């Protein structure tokens, strides 16, 4: 029979995102109900290797549901990509008598969790990344807040774009995924949306198409032209200059950057973090381990970690159509 889980650890890893604190809070509060002890690992896998552990109880997680960032700190840790680093992390957990580890992060962090599982550590992953690129889940914690932050910023840029009758190209985050760009493109009513999933790599052709579109919208009397560019395409300043040179219309580039990663989590992200954090601990309490928690058709579910990491997702075809994408 599986050994009962009495002592669990939790860490945050990879890029920070709004809702990480809310997820830690849900883990700690649910564990307290199940009479499990919780150890917080500071600074992600780096802190795991170092044994940078703190004890967490309900008081430690009060007044954090509304805060962005992560009070456990996060890190990227190259040492953990090596077998030696992974063994050192597993040894720290074993010597601290920890029965299972909850990893709060994105795909990379879950690869790390999978390596720990192979070394005999029981793991659960909670997807938190603004990029929304964890394949097994429809939504990751942090995405909703980041989209809303970017959308507000783009509304403001649009005011200036209209006043000065300029073209604006705005780069949003997302790494290799275009979810933030696609959502903002639709929610901000952008004229063009450039996402890596639909980009064939032909930059001159892309610039020709956007420039023709700019000239067309000017001819129809539009005083602004907003282009949302995904981080995965990049080259935002170069694209702006090329459009200006081709069309003769003043074109400004804005890279929103890290402001999308901070801030107080939205209601949706707080809710998702609370549900996923509680679900993760309940799975452990019932002896279900080595899973990634996910949202599937509006329900919280757990997928076996190896299966979850082999899944693939692409943006909804209907969304492509609604966005009127031109990058084909
Ligand atoms: P985000 O999507 O927000 O960037 P992430 O979890 O994908 O989050 P990464 O930087 O890819 O962020 O990964 C975080 C950490 O996970 C890495 O710094 C490394 O310590 C660990 N990690 C990533 N990939 C692996 C791997 N293949 N094997 C072991 N550990 C890994």
pLDDT tens readout for residues 51-83: 999 999 999 999 999 999 999 999 999 999 999
327 falls in which pLDDT band (50, 70, 90)?
very low
With a 6 A CB cut-off, is 105 part of the ligand 1 pocket?
yes
| For ligand 1, atom 23: residue with the closest CA | 108
Q: pTM here?
A: 0.95
pLDDT confidence band for 318 (50 / 70 / 90): confident
pLDDT one-digit tens code per residue, 77-120: 999 999 999 999 999 999 999 999 999 999 999 999 999 999 99
Classify 273 as helix, strand or coil.
helix
Q: What whole-number distance in Å separates Cα of residue 104 and Cα of residue 269?
A: 14
Whether 131 is a known active-site residue: answer: yes
The active-site residue, picked from 99, 107, 131, 133, is 131
- Give the pLDDT mean for 309-320: 89
CA–centroid distance, 109 to ligand 1, in Å, is 4
pLDDT of residue 126: 98
Alpha-carbon distance of 284 to 157, in angstroms, equals: 46
Q: What are the distances in angstroms from CA 4 to CA 92, 122, 172, 285, 289?
A: 20, 12, 45, 8, 11
- 8 A C-beta contact, residue 15 and residue 68: no
Helix (H, G, I), strand (E, B) or coil at 147: helix
Query: CA angle at residue 53 from 48 to 54, to 5 degrees?
Result: 155
Closest to 10 in 3D by CA, of 304, 297, 273: 273
Chain segment 174-233, per-residue pLDDT in tens:
999 999 999 999 999 999 999 999 899 999 999 999 999 999 999 999 888 999 999 999
Question: Tens of pLDDT along 35-52?
Answer: 999 999 999 999 999 999
Asked if residue 190 lies in contact with residue 225, where contact means CB atoms within 8 angstroms, the answer is no
């Amino acid at each position: 029979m599986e050994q009962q889980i009495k002592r669990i650890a939790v860490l945050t890893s990879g890029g920070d995102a709004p809702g990480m604190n809310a997820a830690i809070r849900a883990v700690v509060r649910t564990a307290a109900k199940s009479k499990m002890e919780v150890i917080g690992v500071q600074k992600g896998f780096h802190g795991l290797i170092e044994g940078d552990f703190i004890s967490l109880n309900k008081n430690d997680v009060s007044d954090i549901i509304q805060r962005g960032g992560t009070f456990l700190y996060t890190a990227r840790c190259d040492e953990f990509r090596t077998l030696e680093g992974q063994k050192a992390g597993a040894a720290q957990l074993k010597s601290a008598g920890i029965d299972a580890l909850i990893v709060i992060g994105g795909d990379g962090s879950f690869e790390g969790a999978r390596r720990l599982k192979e070394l005999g550590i029981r793991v659960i992953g909670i997807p938190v990344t603004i990029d929304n690129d964890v394949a097994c889940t429809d939504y990751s914690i942090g995405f909703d807040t980041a989209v809303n932050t970017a959308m507000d910023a783009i509304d403001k840029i649009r005011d200036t774009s209209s006043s000065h009758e300029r073209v604006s190209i705005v780069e949003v985050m997302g790494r290799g995924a275009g979810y933030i760009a696609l959502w903002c493109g639709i929610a901000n009513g952008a004229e063009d949306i450039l996402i890596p999933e639909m980009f064939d790599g032909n930059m001159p052709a892309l610039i020709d198409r956007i420039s023709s579109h700019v000239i067309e919208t000017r001819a129809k009397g539009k005083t602004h032209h907003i282009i949302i560019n995904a981080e995965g395409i990049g080259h935002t300043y170069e694209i702006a200059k090329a459009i200006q040179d081709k069309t003769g219309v003043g074109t400004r580039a804005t890279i929103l950057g890290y402001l999308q990663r901070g801030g107080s989590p939205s209601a949706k992200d707080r809710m998702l973090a609370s549900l996923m954090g509680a679900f993760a601990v309940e799975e452990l309490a019932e002896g279900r381990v080595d899973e990634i928690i996910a949202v599937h058709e509006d329900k919280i579910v757990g997928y076996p970690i190896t299966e979850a990491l082999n899944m693939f997702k692409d943006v909804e075809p209907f969304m492509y159509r609604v966005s009127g994408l031109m990058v084909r």
